[in-house]
Structure 1
Amino acid sequence: MIILSVVLALVAALGNAAASVLQRHAAAADLPQPSGGRSARRFGFIRHPAWRWGAGLLLFSGVAQALALAAGPLAVVQPVMTTELLFTLVLAAAVFRWPPGARTWGAFLGMALGLAAFLLLAGPTGGTETVAPKRWLASAVPAAAVSIVLVVVGKELRGPARAVVLGSATAIGFSFTAALMKDTLGLVAGGHRDLLTTWQIYTAAAVGLSSFLMLQATLRAGSLAASQPALTLGDSLLSVILGVSLFQERINLGWRVLPEVASLVLIAFACVHLSRSPLVSGKEAQRW
């Protein structure tokens, strides 16, 4: 089942990356043309077929991620979802005909190797399908408190520092959304008949929407190079913690801690470099 969850998470990450590239392609096609050409219509890109395909892929990716969470540990699925950056790089290079440089390819390989090494070393396994309310309470209360502090502090900051702080708050929201989705799917698998009477499904929707809105504030706060590492690593690391604390998943520690930390550092450096690439940040649309 873990292999299935990894495959489904990769499919979800690929779908997210493809949706991002397609919608950027639609936005680029709607840019005003120089020398007296057509002017851009407000939200005209929504009518572009590429944008609609991208929206459809986002829905498809959401389903694939949900199935991945149902099939495997949270501590596996969310870290694998970070491959969205890698898929975005490859697809954007093909669509916008802008070959990545040698350093960008190096960052690509570094992130892939770092992620593979972390998953092999940590080896997340086991876990329950649902979460007891007291474990939710023990995790959600401090996480909510930290998120509030991050948002308050972020409002007082400017530039990259604000992007990092708000990105960290967004990562907390996304990781809890995934955990709530997994808990909801566990109830379904356990034979719960009236899902609409459970608090998990409504909380997941509320936290997910709040996280999406926070993401928009994060992206406006500063460059992607500042916010993306906090988003990517924060979501992955907290998901590993939630997998252990909520779903009682098991990860290998002991002597493996140091190489696991080294793998995370490699992922962090690679993530920073990839986030600076125009192919990932979306700046290639200006050239295309």
Structure 2
Amino acid sequence: MTALTVVLALLAALSNASASVFQRRAAAEEPPHGEGAAGALRVFGRLLRRPYWLAGALLLLASTVLQAAALAGGSLSLVQPLLTAELLFTLAVGSVVFGHRPDRRTWLAFTALAAGLALFLGTAAPSGARTTASPGRWLLAGAVALGVVAVVVLVARTVVGAPRAALLGLASAVSFACTAALLKEVMGRLGQGVGAVLAQWPPYATAVAGLAAFVLLQGALRAGTLAASQPALTLGDALTSVALGWALFQEQILLGVRVLPELIGVTLIGLGSVGLARAPSVSGAWDAPPARDEEAETG
């Protein structure tokens, strides 16, 4: 576990959280423009002129760059669990941007997630061995991951509400973990030269996996509340990344007597995720500009 990798991963989580909050703020200030494609285009055109939305777009780009840099120097099983800190940063940044103070229960959830993350990573001590994986390992891991996503999506189609949201959140988590693994593969091959990397399959597989993860996430958010999908998304991404790190890049985590504190850490992450997903600044109940801004505009 290197300090630079941890800093880069946390900065990526902070950038992504800030992007979500800023773009949510811009969308909250935008009046409706009708239904359909024409209305959506009008809204998008206006959002392009919103400073908050543009700042969010730049932060999303920065988050991708920071995550790639973290994966280039650190293990998948370290970087992806650290990105669960995005929920913590969303709470903090959302509280500032939307001008509201979290209640005590929200702070307890914040503490649980932070403590669980520190306990799991501190006891597991993830370490990496390889920067790229062999084609055989990719073929096997990719087939298993694709099969898991397909089965989970099929099961999700048979249920509604919170169960569907949780299942689609899990499918999205597996896809996001695969995207991160593919991004690590791309970064590991950069020594061959950009042109050589672009002539190979990993960059395009990364784009496809990322798009699939995004689509599945939107389905999870439409199916139910964030409180239903977020725990599966948070824990699913972290645990799948640990498994992919072991299967693809020969990464290791310490087990033995450390299993119990690791399980406690995972449980705390799950409980904290549920609590933060219910927090107004994360779930969307604070999706309105501060009152003082509205008064200034009408005054």
Q: Please state which band the TM-score falls in when normalised by the shorter chain.
A: over 0.9
1:244 aligned residue:
246
Identity of aligned residues (%): 51
Greater CA deviation, 1-10 or 180-189?
1-10
Long gaps (5+) in structure 1: 33-39
Q: Is the 8 A contact 2:98 2:288 kept in 1?
A: no
Long gaps (5+) in structure 2: 33-39, 291-299
Instruction: Give the secondary structure class of the aligned counterpart of 1:131.
Output: coil
Quote the Cα distance in structure 2 between the aligned partners of 1:187 and 1:200.
9
**TM-score under structure 2 normalisation?**
0.90
Q: How does 1:8-47 map to 2 (within 5 A)?
A: 8-31=8-31, 42-43=43-44, 44-47=46-49
Q: How does 1:45-60 map to 2 (within 5 A)?
A: 45-60=47-62
Match of 2:143 among 135, 141, 144: 141
**TM-score under structure 1 normalisation?**
0.94
| 1:81 lines up with 2:74 in the alignment | no
User: What is the identity, as a one-letter code, of the residue corresponding to 2:169?
Assistant: G
Deviation at 1:286, TM superposition (A): 4.4
Instruction: Give the secondary structure class of the aligned counterpart of 1:42.
Output: helix
Quote the Cα distance in structure 2 between the aligned partners of 1:284 and 1:45.
19
2:35 aligned residue:
none
Q: Deviations over 1:36-60 (max 9, x none)?
A: xxxx963333431110110111001
| 1:129 lines up with 2:131 in the alignment | yes
Q: Deviations over 1:133-173 (max 9, x none)?
A: 11111211121111111111112211000000001110110
Deviation at 1:226, TM superposition (A): 0.4
Q: Is the 8 A contact 1:181 1:201 kept in 2?
A: yes
Deviation at 1:189, TM superposition (A): 3.2
Deviation at 1:97, TM superposition (A): 1.2
Sort the Cα spacing of 1:23 and 1:127 in 2 relative to 1 into closer, same or farther, 3 A: same
Q: Is the 8 A contact 1:110 1:266 kept in 2?
A: yes
Quote the Cα distance in structure 1 between the aligned partners of 2:48 and 2:198.
32
Instruction: Give the secondary structure class of the aligned counterpart of 2:83.
Output: helix
Quote the Cα distance in structure 2 between the aligned partners of 1:224 and 1:271.
10
1:276 aligned residue:
278
User: What is the identity, as a one-letter code, of the residue corresponding to 1:52?
Assistant: L
Deviation at 1:192, TM superposition (A): 7.3
Quote the Cα distance in structure 2 between the aligned partners of 1:146 and 1:248.
21
**Cα RMSD for the two superposed structures:** 1.6
